[in-house]
Structure 1
Amino acid sequence: MARILVKRTLVGIAALSLVAGCMEGVNPLSKKGEGAAAIASGQTSRRVERDVEAPDVFQVSEKGLWDGRPSLGGVWVAHPDVKEPERVIIRNESNGSFVIGALFRRERANAGPRLEVSSDAAAALGLLAGAPADITVTALRREENAEPEAEAVIADAPMAEGSEIAAPEAVETATLDPIAAAEAAIDAPAPVAAAPAPAKSDISKPYVQLGIFSVQANADRTADKMRKIGLTPEVHESSIKGKTFWRVVVGPAMTAAERADILAKVKAEGFADAYSVTD
């Protein structure tokens, strides 16, 4: 009985509030000559990432050689002057072809050109086995740029002198039952809480990159191999000036320890040149 009385009291209060709110409405067309709301074109900006060449980080132009043997790791080159792995653009100056790949330090000092080219990179650049070619290797860096993005903005536009606002067309109205509306509001189910945001990694480079491939089938086979050992690979497709390539990464790792475990598993599968990347 007490619960019914409380409910009726709440319904009565809600109904009175609703009626009072209806009485306090103001007609926006009652004052002649005031500004009217107009839609104006505004701009915001969004952040766009792109690769830019960074010759100050690393750049060499010299003879490169593919020895004719198949090599693991996808598209890459190796040079003895490298201090740490880099993402690079590799150009064949003789035919103008290029490809995005990885740059590693060359440990072995063999006779011939210092720049070693992988089999996948050679295929993308049109190199013949055992035939040195003029190669330029330049480091790449991710750069964020602000790109304008149009959006609708509400602004007060002043009216021209002597202009009038046309009266609105007739609108059909219906009588509102305040008691029924208040009961519906009270009996409505509580809103469902939003799902929690996904966890974020605690490290700046949570992914491990296995290689960059010029043939999608090779990238897909590498990803399947990682799934069979319990890892979560991703294949990212990119294109520059009509040249398409595929990067295979594993992750993201939530901690440095988890990333080290992923790196150890990847290297055990034969990808000795794998390294950590941002994405």
Structure 2
Amino acid sequence: MGITRNRWMLAAMSASALALLAGCDESGQFNLADKLNLRQNAGQTASAASGTATKTVEQDVEAPDVFSVTEAGLWDGRPSLGGVWVAHPDVKEPERVMIRNTANGNFVVGALFRKERDIPGPRLQISSDAATALGMLAGAPEELSVVALRREEVAVDVPAPAPEDTGVIASPEDVSETPLDPIAAAGAAIDAAPEAAQTAAAAPAPVPTPAPAPKPTSSLAKPYLQVGIFSVEANANRTAKQMRSAGMLPTIRKGETGGKPFWRVIVGPAQTSAERNALQAKIRTEGFTDAYPVTN
């Protein structure tokens, strides 16, 4: 009986030793828990690598319910101010629109105004800048599609962020211990103290950064005035320079629709309706009679 029991105990101890050896790493350190964690993390990483995240971005979206027409348009051949624009008699309020030439596929973003004068011919009248962008000749009507635009938040899928590296850092191979001499260490600290004090005294005191001035706020829903939309940046810069020379503060804002850039020149913000009306009158005296209020 005693011999049998001893053999059974020896077999159990051998099995335990094999299990411990299975959890050891190459340096002989027991790392079974780390190995289990690595396997679990590897499964989580593979799962995360196949996922995607979703975020919202602002994009121009066509709004045909606001305004949409497809009919003949004409450029009368005269140069015009205000950048890219189109006029139509059915317009109620100025809008930002996409103008397409259905004959050649050219398109451009511009402003939409109400056509005040009853000119014989097509009801759509375009500016000289719009005609250039659309590839239209003076006095030659082309079928145009004009659709209002709105800024909306659209959900897009983006790749999920890469998982963090959870690998086990290998242990250093050669580590040596050197006892410190307490007397030598104390002497070095005493010698370094005067030098550190001199360095701290010589360092200039940090200059506090002034807080940025708060941006002026306006109670108006549309505190800015849009002078024009341009398909050529140089034209936008020239218009902004003209507004600045007249004593106004212009801002150029770049946008893009359908892969094509455009530049908007706006003035403001106005704090009151009276100030906005005065700005609009001032802009009109510079020749931009179609300037209208916008949100930003």
Q: Distance in 2 between matches of 1:168 and 1:90?
A: 68
Q: Distance in 1 between matches of 2:211 and 2:160?
A: 30
Match of 2:3 in 1: none
Contact 1:65–1:117 (Cα < 8 Å) also in 2? yes
- 2:286 is the counterpart of 1:277: no
- 2:129 is the counterpart of 1:116: no
Unaligned runs of 5+ in 2: 1-31
Highest RCO, 1 vs 2 (Cα 8 Å, sep ≥ 6) = 1
Equivalent residue letter for 1:195: A
Contact 1:85–1:104 (Cα < 8 Å) also in 2? yes
More strand by share: 1
Q: Report deviation, 1:99.
A: 0.8
Contact 1:266–1:274 (Cα < 8 Å) also in 2? yes
- 2:151 is the counterpart of 1:142: yes
Match of 2:233 in 1: 216
Q: Distance in 1 between matches of 2:159 and 2:226?
A: 33
Tell me which of 205, 216, 221 is aligned to 2:222. Answer: 205
Look up the SS of the partner of 2:105 in the other structure: coil
Match of 1:243 in 2: 260
Match of 1:9 in 2: none
Q: Report deviation, 1:96.
A: 0.9
Q: Report deviation, 1:257.
A: 4.0
Q: Give the count of matched residue pairs.
A: 240
- 2:137 is the counterpart of 1:128: yes
Q: Distance in 2 between matches of 1:103 and 1:132?
A: 18
Look up the SS of the partner of 2:239 in the other structure: helix
Q: Distance in 2 between matches of 1:269 and 1:149?
A: 49
The CA deviation string for residues 142-182 of structure 1, in whole angstroms up to 9 with x for no partner, is 01234558558889x9x9xxxx987689799x99x9xx9xx
Match of 2:269 in 1: 252
Q: Distance in 1 between matches of 2:176 and 2:226?
A: 63
- 2:278 is the counterpart of 1:261: yes
Q: Choose 146-155 or 50-59, whichever is displaced more.
A: 146-155
Q: Distance in 2 between matches of 1:46 and 1:278?
A: 24
Look up the SS of the partner of 1:222 in the other structure: helix
Match of 1:18 in 2: none
Identity %: 57
RMSD, matched Cα: 4.1
Match of 2:92 in 1: 83
Equivalent residue letter for 1:130: G
Question: Aligned in 2, Cα 1:149/1:205: closer, same or farther, shift over 3 Å?
Answer: farther
Q: Distance in 2 between matches of 1:224 and 1:86?
A: 24
Q: Report deviation, 1:195.
A: 1.6
Q: Distance in 1 between matches of 2:257 and 2:243?
A: 27
Match of 2:19 in 1: none
More helix by share: 2
Q: Distance in 2 between matches of 1:126 and 1:216?
A: 18
